Every structure is written in structure tokens, then in C-alpha cells.
Copies of this chain bind each other. A is one copy, B any other.
Amino acid sequence: MSEKKYVYSFGGGEADGDTTLKNLLGGKGSNLAEMANIGVPVPAGFTITTEVCTYYYDHGKTYPPELDEQMKAGIKKIEKVMDARFGDAENPLLVSVRSGARVSMPGMMDTVLNLGLNDETVQGLIKKTNNPRFGYDSYRRFIQMYSNVVCGLDNEVMESELERMKEEKGVEVDTDLDENDLKKLVQKFKDIYKEKFGEPFPTDPWEQLKGSIGAVFGSWMNNRAMVYRRLHGIPHSWGTAVNVQAMVYGNMGESSATGVAFTRDPSTGEKKYYGEWLVNAQGEDVVAGIRTPHPLNDYTESKTQTGLSTLQVEMPEVFKELCDNFEKLEQHYKEMQDIEFTIQEGTLWLLQTRTGKRTAAAAVRIAVEMEKEELIDKKTAVLRVDPKQVDQLLHPMIDPKFKKEVVAKGLPASPGAAVGRVVFTAEEAVEMASKGEPVILTRIETSPEDIEGMHSAKGILTSRGGMTSHAAVVARGMGKCCIAGAGDVTINYKDEQFKIKGTDHVVKKGDFISLDGTTGELLLGKADTIEPELSGTFADLMVWADEFRNMGVRTNADTPDDAKKALEFGAEGIGLCRTEHMFFAEERILAVRQMIVSDTQEEREKALAKILPMQQEDFEGIFEAMAGYPVTIRLLDPPLHEFVPHEDKQIEDLARSLDMDFKELKSKIEGLSEMNPMLGHRGCRLGITYPEITRMQARAIMQAACTLAQKDIDVLPEIMVPLIGGVEEFNNQKKIIVEEAEEIMKEYGVNVKYMVGTMIEVPRAAITADRVAQSAEFFSFGTNDLTQMTMGFSRDDAGRFLPQYVERGFYPEDPFQSIDIEGVGEMVEIGLRRGRSTSEDLKVGICGEHGGDPKSVEFCHKIDMNYVSCSPFRVPIARLAAAQAAVKTLKKNRPHL
């Protein structure tokens, strides 16, 4: 029997291991082996297996006896590939020592670089790089790192010496220290080491190496790493591997260089190499920005226009080798790669390769083109695009070439870009827009009364409110650019202007401004924008997504325009049509208000009779736009006080319009106020106390449906009762709806297939869903309110603590943006399961803001919802997310395929 293998070498176009040995070699070690195996020139090295770690802890922190010999053989192989010698003063081989567990534990464990340096070998390094400052800096860093990582010296001890040196020299940054300073520092560090540990700093590279390996194994059990593993469920028994790898240097003269490159253009996705490089430089010089990096090739130069020389021209041979490696890596990893490379004295080394980050447009193009190149299949292509990124593609954006001058920042409440003239009231917005002027509605906060103005505006800017403020939510729903809560914008309604705190800028009504809703940036004047394109590769991708997706995607839309937009985006029906948004139109609000302040049912019915034909007309428009698709209409939901004015002047106006006494009207309006409007008299509670409202709405819906049905237009109304707490409330409302529906169908002499269902948004409704489902024909989870009630905070008030909660990790994300799976999600699942326990085929959807959030969509898929519904602009996102969920679940359900 041969001796046990503890050391796996890699480099020189071959390797002892490969990615199948991940458990033994760790993530990093097996990847390096894989790269070496496919012929990528990685700096040579070896991996000490995780079994050594286990042995180490099982045997009182000692090593297997065979290890020493195997390591020596490993070093020999490195020396051969790298053509350098460990501890040699002329041509020293320097190495790095890094941990590498099965799964990545970023920042948890220790690393030692430039190992092998001592007073002699540093001279070799200096000679090779012709850079004494670099040599001594590398040396002092090595001593500092070693003392800290291997010997446990507080990093501050040596760091403060460095600081003292800078003070003495009167310089600010490390780079201002010269060769001699650093040489002195090396001596100082060695003195400190001797003083602290009673012996000189080890000069023997072998001693340095063993010490470092021990330190890495030791760091597996440090506190930080143990906590991390406990949090992430990683067993301590896995152990870590240790990677010892040759250091390479791009600063060894004019035939050395360093660079980064992408195998495809990360901005556009075009299949062209894109990258930057610097001759005689280290990797950090490329990113540090002191020297302007050169373009990698002609393509990069065509994009960046630097006028500087390319690697393609300067080192054509190496460039060709680099390109060959790009091909190899893409073919192997079947993904666009982001590569770090170093050229050391004419020899190319690839230090790292990883999946490259890219823009949304690039992500789509790369995924689709790779499928066409037969690199990946359609499912993989669909999984390759982050649905959240897709949002970028659906809105106009500030032209990346435009030079932005940002004067203030707010929350990126609704993405896109908008350019227009400032107005301060909804009325002005409507008026100016009607004249064809683009406007930006600028308000401290918005309220439901501003809806029409928001519709007319190109964008919305508020100085107060969060990501879930009225402005933010409504703007997202409209797919309209919005910056919310720009605290530095000080609005003065009286003078019709705003100032920017801390600046002299004064923006007057009529001035042009530009909003970047994707970043939250406010610009003065007119910015250049570019329009989105939904054709080409994006269209291909969406077709594939729809092939895999098995959950429906509907939209939340309140107008025929929204409905049409959503259809373009691929919506398969309306999941939420909010009837109250129709109430705010100028010619209607008076009748609505009259209804609200009525004293008797008779008066209310009179006012409702005025609203009926208008609502019917709305529904006709929406049904017609959505012909053939289901349309879920929610009955009146908000508390009545949202519809009436609250300022004396407006109340006076209303009193005049309604021919009422001001005082009486004011007292009525005050009587409507509530301590906790979220938990007040709204939703079906209104329909229960005022059945005539439900009756009017049911009538408007069914008259509209019957009118279209008479014209042979296919209508599928789904009437939805909001805010029920149990089946009793639902039944009360259903009875009214069915009575009206049956009567109207008889009147019109047509039959319309309608359904009556309910929102599930009160926890009690979810808890008692088995009974609710005895009577409700569909469920739609209203996860906005369900989140508020389940978690016990209102989104209006949560601003004081919720950001902290997310920051501290109490919740992984803002629960109003991505569903809180553990709490609210569980409540949804309880509701769904209990509902289906009574009614097996119950149609279940979601219509909260979460319907457009990819993670939430995946959750909905997992628990078997029939559809999600979201604002029109989020429909493509939801489609993609649903497709991904389907593909992933399929994989999960059939692990052997």
C-alpha cells in the first residue's frame, strides 16, 4: 500500500486533483487544480488536504509524519514550473499561504503573502523588479502579516510604528515613504518581533512555511470562524485545506505587466474581450487610479477612447495566449469570466477567474447568445438573468454618457429617468401636462388627492417619506420615475420654489429638473435620456421564460392605459383593480364626498347613483382592454376620511359646493378621523355598514360586464371583497353582490361567468381560511396589509426602526419589499393550505407589492399559488422570476436528472 496522499500539486498544465475533490481540496484548491488541468497557466502550487486539518485536531495539533516529505516534493514541483528556488537569494521563489474550506468563508480565516522573504531573498526580489522600495515594502508587509497571523501579535503594534514613521517624515500616506524609510521599518519590525517573542524573526523559508500552515489550520477554530460556521450550518468536522502557491509579479520590468479582463463586454454583452492593463505594474496599480490603465485591445479602445497603447499591439504574443485562455475558460465554465492576469518577465499567469458582473442588458444578451452558441441550454439562460436587474431595462434612463451634476439625493423610490418642469400642485401638473409640457410634480408628501397630478407628471419628487410612502408606492405602480424623501430639498409652496440645503440653488416653478429614480439623484436642468428597448434578445429570453413558467402573472391596474401597458409586458389578466383610484378624478370626487358626508342611506344612495355610471364606464374600458382575460376588481377599500379634504380652506370650498354649513361639514369630517386608520373602518367594514356602496359597485361592475357581453366581448369579472376577518363578513357582502349580479344579468339577458372571492390580508382570515373557502371562490393575498398586521407595524411608522432591523439582520430584507418568508410567508401558507383543505382547486394569487419581487415570486411558486399580480412595469420581472422558480423547483424535485 502506497502512503496516504496529503499534498496535491497543480500548475504547468496539469494537477493532481480536480473539482470532484472539493471536499478534500476545498473550494479554492479544487478550482486551481481545475484551471491547471484545462491548461490555464496558473502560478504553480499545492494544496494540503482537509484531512490534514482533521488529523491536526485529532492528534493534539500535530501533522501526519508523511506530510513533510510530500510538501518538500510539492515545493520542488513549484520551483520547476516557476523556474525559481525557495530561499534562493538570486532568484527567490516566494509563495502565498491561504486557507480554503469546502465552502467560502469570506474574511474568516488568515492568509500570509510574500512568504520566503528574508534579508537575502529580498535582494533577489529587488534586483528582479529593479525596485528597492517595492522589495522592502513587500518585506515589511510580510513580517507584519506573519507576526500577526502566525504569532498572534496585535496588528496595531507594528501599524503604529508605521504611523510614527509617517509622522516623523511629515507625510500622509504610505506611498510617500521611500526605500530607506521602509528598510528602517523592516529593521524596526524585526526588533519588535525579537522583543515580543524572545527570538529573532525566522529567516528560514521552511520555518516560515510551516508556521504559516499551522496558523491557517489554527484559524479554523478561531472564534470568528466558529461563529460563522454555526450561523451558516457548516460542521466543524469539515476542516479546511491550505493552499501554497507561487507569487508572481507584474512589476519586474518592461516585459512584465498586469491587468483585468472580461471575456465579453460587461456593459453591452457583446461577444468581445474587454479589459485594461498596465505595463510594469502590480494588480493594485490598475485599480488604484494613479496611473491611467491602458485598453486591452482595439475593442476596448473603441469604447474608452483613451488614445493609449493596447496589449494587443504591445505584446501580441502574450495577448494571443491570453485570448486562447479566455476561450478555454468560457468553454469550460460556460459563463462570461472576469479574469485577473499578470505577465512576469514575458510569461502569462492567470491569477483568478470568476463569473463577471454585468449590466442587465449585457446579462440578457450574454445569456441568449450563449444559448445560440450552444454553450448553455435555455433553462440555464433563463436562470442567468437576475430578475431584479431587468427593472433597469423597462424604464427610460439617464444616458450613461451624460455628465451628471447631482445637487441632491433622495431614495430611489421608483426607477427610470424623468425630465420636466417643476410644479408644486397636482392641479398645475394636470394643467401644464394638458398643454403638452413635461412636468415633475414636486411635493413635500403626496396623498390620494394627488393621483391625477401624478398620472400627468413625468416624474415625482418628494422631500419626505420612505420607500413605501404614498408617492413611492403609487409611482412604482404607475411605472413612473420617483425620488422620495429627498431631505435636502426644502420646498416652499407659498413662494412656489424649492431650495437645496447647503447650496445656493433655488428652483422655481417652471424650471427644468431631471430625476434619476434608479439612483435617487436629482439634477438641475435637462439631462439626456435613452428609451428602453424590449425587443431582440430580451424578447427571446421572455419567450423562453414563458415556456418554463407554470404560474400565471397578472397585473395591478386601475385604468385601461395601465391594462394595455401591462398586456404589452405580458400580463395575463388583472389581479388587482382598485376601484377607489377612480374616485379621485375631478368630476367624481364631489359626488364621492357628498356620499361620504350623507346622513342617511337615502342621501348616500342619491350620491352613489351619480357615481354608478362613471364607475361602469371605467369598468367597460378595463374589461375591453383585458378582453379574454380575468379582471379582479376589489371593492372600496380605504377609510372614508382619505377622500375628504382636511384643511379649512378646502373644507370651505367643499361646503359651498355641497351647499352645506362649514361648521357642520368640518365636524363631520373630524368625526371620520381615526386613531389607527390602518386598523379602522375600511375594507368590507364599509360595505357592511353601508351595503348600498357594495350594491352600487357590484352593479357598476356587472352592468359593464353585461354591456360588453352583449357585444360578444369576452369578460371574466372576479369581484373581490377586501379586508375580511372571517367567512361571516364575506358572506354578508357576497349575498349583496350575487343578488345584484343575478338581477342585472336577467335585465341584460346575458350570462357572464363571474366569480366572487376575497382578499386575505387580515391574519384572522388566513387562520380561518378553511371556513372562508367554503364560500369564497378565490383568494388573493394582500400581503401589504398582511405584512403590517402580522408583523405589527404600519409602513407609515416603521421608518423609525425598520431600517435598523434590516441592518441588524432581524429581517433579511425590508419586509415590505420582499415577503418575510418566515413570518408573513408562513401566514400565507397557512391560509393557502387551509383554504385548499376545503376547496381543493381554490384559485389563489397574491396582489401585494411583493407580486413583483423575485424572491417573493419564488416563494409563491413554491407554495403552489396560481398566479402573482404586480404593477405593469414589474410584469416581465415576475414572469422571469416565476420561470426561474419553476426551473429551480424542477431541479429540486428531480435531483437525479
Interface on A for B, CB 8 Å cutoff?
674-681, 685, 688-689, 723, 725-726, 728-729, 732, 761-764, 767-768, 771, 785, 788-794, 796-797, 800-801, 804-805, 808-811, 820, 822-824, 826-827, 830
Contact = CB atoms under 8 A, between A and B. Distances in A.
B689 A797 contact: no
Contact of A796 (B676, B763, B793, B801): B676
Contacts of A789: 763, 789-790, 792
B823 A768 contact: yes
Contact of A809 (B685, B728, B764, B792): B728
A826 B676 CA distance: 25
A801 B681 CA distance: 7
B680 A797 contact: yes
Contacts of A791: 725, 762-764
Contacts of A810: 725-726, 728-729, 732
B764 A820 contact: yes
Given A768-B826, A820-B764, A797 B725 contact: no
A68 to B, nearest CB: 46
Nearest to A788: B679
Contacts of A796: 674-676
Contacts of A827: 763-764, 767
A809 B689 CA distance: 14
Contacts of A676: 676-679, 794, 796-797
Contacts of A761: 792
A674 B675 CA distance: 9
Number of copies: 2
A792 B675 contact: no
Contact of A689 (B678, B785, B804, B820): B804
Q: Which of A680, A789, A792, A820 has the largest number of chain B CB atoms within 10 A?
A: A792
Given A688-B804, A790-B789, A792-B785, A675 B822 contact: no
Contacts of A809: 728
- Among A676, A678, A790, A804, which residue has the most Cβ atoms of chain B within 10 A? A676
A797 B681 CA distance: 7
Contacts of A793: 679-680, 685, 725
A826 B768 CA distance: 9
A587 to B, nearest CB: 29
A767 B822 CA distance: 8
Contact of A679 (B728, B797, B823): B797
B801 A675 contact: no
Given A679-B788, A804-B689, A768 B822 contact: yes
Contacts of A726: 810, 822-823
Contact of A790 (B674, B680, B764): B764
* Residue of A685, A723, A767, A804 with most chain B CB atoms under a 10 A cut-off: A767
Given A685-B800, A762-B790, A789-B789, 15 more contacts: A675-B794, A676-B676, A676-B677, A676-B794, A679-B794, A680-B800, A685-B793, A725-B791, A725-B792, A725-B823, A728-B808, A728-B809, A729-B805, A763-B792, A785-B792
B681 A679 contact: no
Q: Which 5 A/B pairs are nearest by Cβ-Cβ distance?
A: A764-B823, A762-B792, A679-B794, A675-B796, A676-B794
Nearest to A684: B801
Given A675-B796, A676-B796, A801-B685, A826 B728 contact: no
B804 A790 contact: no
Contacts of A732: 808, 810
A599 to B, nearest CB: 15
Contacts of A764: 790-792, 820, 823-824, 827
A678 B809 CA distance: 24
A785 B792 CA distance: 9
Interface centre among A681, A788, A789, A794 (most CB of B within 10 A): A789
Contacts of A680: 793-794, 797, 800
B790 A767 contact: yes
Contacts of A679: 676, 678-679, 788, 792-794, 797
A588 B26 CA distance: 62
Given A792-B725, A792-B762, A808-B732, A677 B675 contact: yes
A793 B685 CA distance: 10
Contacts of A811: 728
Contacts of A790: 762-764, 767, 789
A723 B768 CA distance: 23
Contacts of A785: 792
A596 to B, nearest CB: 13
A810 B689 CA distance: 13
24 contacts: A674-B794, A674-B797, A675-B794, A675-B797, A676-B794, A678-B678, A679-B794, A688-B801, A688-B805, A689-B804, A725-B792, A725-B793, A725-B810, A725-B823, A728-B811, A762-B791, A763-B792, A764-B790, A764-B791, A764-B824, A767-B790, A771-B822, A789-B789, A789-B792
A670 to B, nearest CB: 13
Contacts of A830: 767
A797 B678 CA distance: 10
